[in-house]
Amino acid sequence: MSAAIPSHAFEQYTIAFYNLENFFDVINDPNILDDDFTEFGRNEWTPHRYQKKLNRISDCISKIGFEETGKLPVLIGIAEVENKKVIKELLSQPKLSHQNYNFIHYNSPDERGIDVALIYNEDLFTVQHSAPINIELIEENGTKDYTRDILYVKGKLAGMPLDIYVNHWPSRRDGAEETNHKRVEVAKKLIAHINKNDPEKKRYSNTHETHDSHNVIILGDFNDDPENDSIKNVIIPQGFKNVTAPLKTFYRGTLNHQFKWNLFDQIIISQSLENDIPKSLYFSKANIFDDIMLRQWKGKYRGQPSRTFVGRRYKGGYSDHFPVYSVFRRN
């Protein structure tokens, strides 16, 4: 029997998503609701606490997918970042500064000032175009409800054309059923944008050559599980596969609410990325990065994400979400 080929022998790349849980700097911005995250604000967000957050998040990112590929992620979608400053300072941390990382970020109309962004390795990913997709929802009383933009990035990953959409959909704060229509509406707006860029539906096929395929990766915090309407009934039938859906179990997810696991953080790929075309990149595996270092290790919340805050209580952890990631290999 021949020995298995070691994983590191393949040309492969990790693409990840991580909700960073209120990743604010310590400076008060008068244009957004960030007063709690200042030194004398409700959360006593001191430079020391901010630096600890930078250290922890950078340490986590440096380990996502490393066991499989021996390399840091090539693309990382992130959510709940306040501004460009925090991303620059994150990328300057020792665990990440040796990588040729850059990022794309746009300020969104979210009243709390938390946005999405995409970190990318400039040596491996070439940006051709980027833009925010503004999401404007109308409440029943006719008022506008602004939520986070979707970040759209078009580029080439190791020569392969790729469209990336980084998402952070409306929360369930007012109830899952009561807010379901908002996430369904955002999903429809996303599909409309994808259809505009792919009118010939080339993402449905895994038979096109690399240069002629339309490859799409949708990732983010959807505030919905894989079985909910927005994902299952709006996104998936449009030529997509949810590669993270099988990871959700009774005992596993990316966040935990009232001792119940959810998988709000997901990676969804176009059917074109499951292929055996020579020299093309193809989807290999997906996982939740829920290493023991990211977990609470004692007490009744043992095993759940080690959070920065629980309510107003500072815990000094990483985030209230675990990251998800997918590995792509070259045929």
| Nearest CA-CA partner of 23 in 54, 2, 47 | 54
Least confident of 47-51, 204-208, 326-330: 204-208
Q: Amino acid letter at 125? A: F
Q: pLDDT tens for residues 265-286? A: 999 999 999 988 888 899 999 9
CB 81 within 8 A of CB 29: no
- Map out the domains of the chain with their CATH numbers: 12-330 (3.60.10.10)
Confidence band, pLDDT 50/70/90 cuts, at residue 2:
low
d(CA 289, CA 284): 16
| Other Cβ atoms within 10 Å of 282 Cβ, number | 17
Q: Amino acid letter at 45? A: W
Helix (H) or strand (E) holding 75: strand 75-81
Compute the average pLDDT of residues 51-64: 98
Distances (CA, A) of 201 to 128, 161, 208, 243, 276: 21, 15, 11, 20, 19
Helix (H) or strand (E) holding 313: strand 313-314
Least confident of 27-36, 76-85, 226-235: 27-36
Least confident of 73-82, 136-145, 254-263, 277-286: 136-145
CB 99 within 8 A of CB 107: no
CB 153 within 8 A of CB 139: no
H helices present in 42-91, as ranges: 47-63, 66-69, 84-91
Compute the average pLDDT of residues 88-108: 97
Return phi, psi of residue 216, to 5°.
-130, 135
Q: Amino acid letter at 162? A: L
Q: Roughly how many angstroms between the first and final C-alpha of the chain, as a whole number?
A: 23
pLDDT exceeds cutoff 60 at 3: no
pTM (2 decimals)? Answer: 0.95
